[in-house]
Homo-oligomer: A and B are copies of this chain.
Amino acid sequence: MPNMAIKHVAITSRRALTKCAKIGHTTVSVSRSLRKLTPTAFKTLRQAIAKVGHLGIMGQKIRLSDRELAANKVIMAVKKEEISKGILDPSQFTPGQHIFKTLTEVQKSPIFNLIKGMPKGGVLHAHDTALCSTEYLISLTYRENLWICTAEEGCKAIAFRFSKEKPTQKPVEDCIWEPMEEFRERRGEKNVAKYLTRRFSMYPFSKFVSNNQAWAHFMGIFILLDGLLCHAPIWADYYYNALKEFAEDGVQYLELRSLLPPLYCIDGDMLTTRDTVAIYNSELERFKADHPDFIGSKLIYAPLRGVEPSVVEQYVKTAVELNKEFPSFMVGFDLVGQEELGRPLIDFVEPLLKMPEHINFYFHAGETNWFGSPIDENLVDAILLGTKRIGHGYALTKHSMMMRLAKLLDIAIEVCPVSNQVLQLGVDYRNHPAALLLAANVPIVISSDDPSFWRCAPLSHDFYFAFLGIAPMKADLRFLKSLATNSIRYSALGGEEKRVAYQKWQEKWDKWIDDVVAQKYC
């Protein structure tokens, strides 16, 4: 459509100019300008062009119902106010700043509250142990039989472990195991809560000297949480609670990437990878029984990328086995870890080509701002390997051919705004490359990656920044609706599953629209 429009404008402009050249009083050299038009004609043409440009933006062609149009008025009035304030004083505009400095401010925003209530569909990009709120993590440290290993004279938490007896293995030489309740008594309950709140997230570091340093800190949280979460019953509870928190934030579906670590039992015995999936699967069934309006959850097996190709060969075999046993749950494959430090996909092409067609790839690719690096080239390999979606794709806009292929092949980009900011790819959301994906109508979904580590809502903060910071000012309910429906459209749900999913989402959507019209959020 925009393509057609460009051609049309070019032709119109050429015709107008030829005419001008003929009717001009003096000899007019034929130029590319439209200066011989009357101001009225100019403005008409200009409006037409602006309109066509606008319609090319993702979601703008959606037709809203009368109720939705009424809700849209409410939403846009609130949005306009927030933008106007921002233009008057950009230093107060939250999408121009780091989330760690604006978290409280954002939670007071009327737009944020509207978005919090909105049924947002599914989260298609999130990692196993970075889902739940800090409060929930701290509540887990009150569970029975938990030990903590501390260093630096009992001040620095190094690891956790559930055990009847004092654990025998030390994660580092000079750390000392003690029961969690003793640690809490010794340091004071409030101090411990404050300390763990910091250690379980990236706060207060809004500025790292580089994204490498940010990643090191980030990986440190995963490591610290390991002993706390990889205990089988906790793993089960953590996932159930994640589904609960996500549902409360207006998320009805979760496509989870997991390393699928073998879990440990209280007596130290280890379970298998298969058991980890089985635990997920049975918790999901339990959750769905308790919450019939929830759509569901699926699993993407996503082990670490910093390995030898032979290990990926093993990954592929594991994926095939797991999919065989859990065909409608364990449905996809990815590789995780900092792309810059791991290996590029091209190193693993041989084993990856052995993956059967029915197990989809959902590769991380292009999570970098190094233009022309091997990480950029992961975009090429991901697309050629037939990835169904691209995780992050932050660098995609720098590769116009890959961007057009993504559009042509209907590959959705999983955009994770807050994650990109915290992991130091960029600060100001108004410069986020996803704006260009919207403008070029490349399909995107909005995800939260690791909301636990930035103390954000499961999805609302990412939607908020996408709506207020990344999308054009005029982006409205059409945009929000297309983000929600995209998250179902580009999910791994099968045909009949999708039909049910849309239905469950639509019910909540209609209710929310009514609430918005009734000014329930204002």
Contacts and interface: CB of A to CB of B under 8 A. Distances in A.
B431 A425 contact: yes
Nearest to A7: B408
Copies of this protein chain in the complex: 2
B357 A53 contact: no
A402 B439 CA distance: 11
A499 interface: no
A9 B406 CA distance: 12
Nearest to A358: B29
B6 A404 contact: yes
Given A39-B350, A46-B380, A385-B34, A427 B430 contact: no
Contact of A353 (B10, B42, B398): B42
B384 A210 contact: no
A372 B33 contact: no
A96 B435 CA distance: 21
B39 A349 contact: yes
Contacts of A440: 400
A371 to B, nearest CB: 5
Contacts of A318: none
A91 interface: yes
Contacts of A53: 380, 399-402
Given A384-B45, A398-B439, A211 B6 contact: no
Contact of A34 (B373, B384, B398, B439): B384
A39 B46 CA distance: 51
A312 interface: no
A473 B373 contact: yes
Interface in A200-223: 209-213
A431 B369 contact: yes
B213 A380 contact: no
A474 interface: yes
A431 B3 CA distance: 27
Nearest to A432: B431
A372 B438 CA distance: 12
B340 A49 contact: no
A503 interface: no
B397 A472 contact: no
A372 B471 CA distance: 8
A19 to B, nearest CB: 14
A113 B439 CA distance: 39
Given A50-B380, A357-B29, A473-B373, A408 B6 contact: yes
Contacts of A50: 377, 380
Contact of A472 (B10, B90, B372): B372
A398 B472 contact: yes
A330 interface: no
Interface in A27-43: 28-29, 31-35, 37-39, 42-43
Interface in A9-68: 9-10, 28-29, 31-35, 37-39, 42-43, 45-46, 49-50, 52-53, 56
B37 A353 contact: yes
24 contacts: A2-B401, A6-B405, A28-B357, A29-B357, A29-B358, A35-B353, A35-B355, A35-B357, A46-B346, A46-B384, A49-B380, A49-B401, A50-B377, A50-B380, A53-B380, A56-B400, A90-B209, A90-B211, A91-B209, A91-B213, A373-B473, A426-B426, A431-B431, A433-B436
Interface of A: 2-3, 5-6, 9-10, 28-29, 31-35, 37-39, 42-43, 45-46, 49-50, 52-53, 56, 87, 89-91, 93, 96, 209-213, 340, 346, 349-350, 352-353, 355, 357-358, 361, 369-373, 376-377, 380-381, 384-386, 397-402, 404-405, 408-409, 425-428, 430-431, 433, 435-436, 439-441, 470-475
Given A33-B385, A369-B428, 15 more contacts: A29-B358, A31-B357, A31-B386, A35-B353, A39-B353, A45-B384, A46-B381, A52-B401, A87-B340, A90-B210, A90-B212, A91-B209, A96-B210, A373-B473, A397-B436
4 nearest CB pairs, A to B: A33-B386, A372-B472, A372-B473, A91-B209
